Structure 1
Amino acid sequence: MNKNLEKFLRKRKRAIKGPEKYKNIFEDNIVRITHYIEHGKTQGEEFSNERLPFAPWEKLNIELSGQCKIYENIAQASLVKDSVIDAEHLSYYLNYGYYELAIAHIKQKRCFIRFGVENEGVISPGSVFQLATAFLLHQYDYARQFYRLFENGYMKNWINRSKSHIGDFIILLFDRAKGDNTLKPIVDDFAYQAILDNWNSTDLTKVTAYLNQLCDDQVTQVASPPSKMFFEFDNMNWQFTPYAALMLLTLRAQHGLENPDFDHPGFGNVTSLLLTQPVAPQKDEVLEQLVAKLHEQGFNEKALLA
């Protein structure tokens, strides 16, 4: 066993306790969201500009991203413990992410209208895993909504880049297979071009090699120190779920292609994790109340992104 895999497996074992570490963050975040529901603005909000008025919901940030991280972390801990996809908590993660990224997309569009410049490096690289999750849960309307953000912003450098190419792969795979096939890698020596070109291969030996590459790279990046700048993998989220491999397998299954029975020393049997039925996104009670408040304030993501 190599050192990266050893370190990865040690960190993976500790991931079961991740939700405990998030407990105080969860409670603090509920306070923030409740404040918005009750007062129609974020805590401490004072900024105003009559010439360029900002909608109050444009200030929502940690309130939504925090809930995303909490629910994804619970799902990740369940996967590590039970070797099954925790579809319930991923569905909560997906729905908070839907509103987080819809607001982010609207803000990016408004930034150019207001100031005439692109706001670069402001979308978290971890946001890409929302696209993979939507695909994994067979929620293709959600996936397409997320894709539109990345289609508009990937090549304009809206995303805060890390050294990883895994996020690029997720965006470019969707673009190649389900999108408009217009995006090109914005990184030199893109690591996964061969997988993009052959995602629908019937050669299972080749597909297995691709899956190993994706999973091996994720193991290495999770095990790497922060100085390596794989920063979507240097916190408690997205580390131990093989999102890129699962997205590739799900895409192939959707197209009626045979998949290998793929087992990996870091992630176990990945093929067995695939879901065969759609999982409806769910709102918890807090998000239900928050969305009601957003609608009171005129927020309509479909109209604003049309």
Structure 2
Amino acid sequence: MTVTKSIKVKNKNHVRMGKRDVIYNIAAICVFTLIALICFYPFYYLMICTISNQKMVDLNQILFLPHGINFKNYVEIFQVQNLANSAFISVARTICTTALSLVCTSYMAYFFTKTNMWGRKFWYRFTVITMYFSAGMIPEYLNNRMLGLTNSFGIYVIPAAISVYNMVLVKTNIESMSPELEESAYLDGAGYLTTFFKIILPLQTPILATVSLFTAVNQWNDFFTTKLYITNTKLYTLQYLLYELLQQVTAAAEQINNANPYASITPTGIRLTLTAIVIIPIICVYPFVQRFYVKGIMVGAVKG
């Protein structure tokens, strides 16, 4: 009679961690968790202060938990004149500028990769110089005024159509691609436009996501363009409206309280609430492009 015994075979590839490795891993987890909490806490503190009792906020009695939860700050702030219109202008500006910049910047980068382009090195160097030297604020203002861009939505979109820094990132990424892809497209009868939109552009998702994040954040946070070129209140962005209210925060709080005696709005409450309203959209969008961010930076910065 044959007896078959089951023999457990240990995985030879399994490496058992020593005590030092375990201690190191625990310490690393604790340190990075602490760093994450330190980074997260300012946003958390901002949000709980906007919904807490404003007197306790002014006395710095809010640390970890909200007290006297209410949404009076948001209710009153959303009743500020032109807030909805300014939010629409900011969103429209961010979307339009980002879309136009992606197409123009990536197309410009694509042509700078063409070795048969006449004067390619000269024009590329000439373009890169503008990253370090500019004409100055006054010539730029006069130029935009002569183009009829002052007091128009175009001032938000047209001057930001091309970013040289982003163009360099995209150009470096395109140069790292295999040239056989373009050659096969040319053999099939495709031209530059067809090759760009159907071959090159779809393969640039990581770097384009990174560039779009750069552009969107820059456009969303910018208020100086409005301050310099816009006098029509219907074209004010949300950030410029925030800037105006922060400059007159005490008067704004008194105006709200006079209109509604039960509001109990303080200057600190206005600052915190407006800041929260402005940063929430970016915080919500970032997780969707975060997975492309690191890869896009690496492939755009290192040619390989």
* TM > 0.5 fold call: no
More helix by share: 2
> Which protein, 1 or 2, shows the higher relative CO under an 8 Å CA cutoff with sep ≥ 6?
2
Could you state the TM-score of these two structures normalised by the residue count of structure 2? 0.25
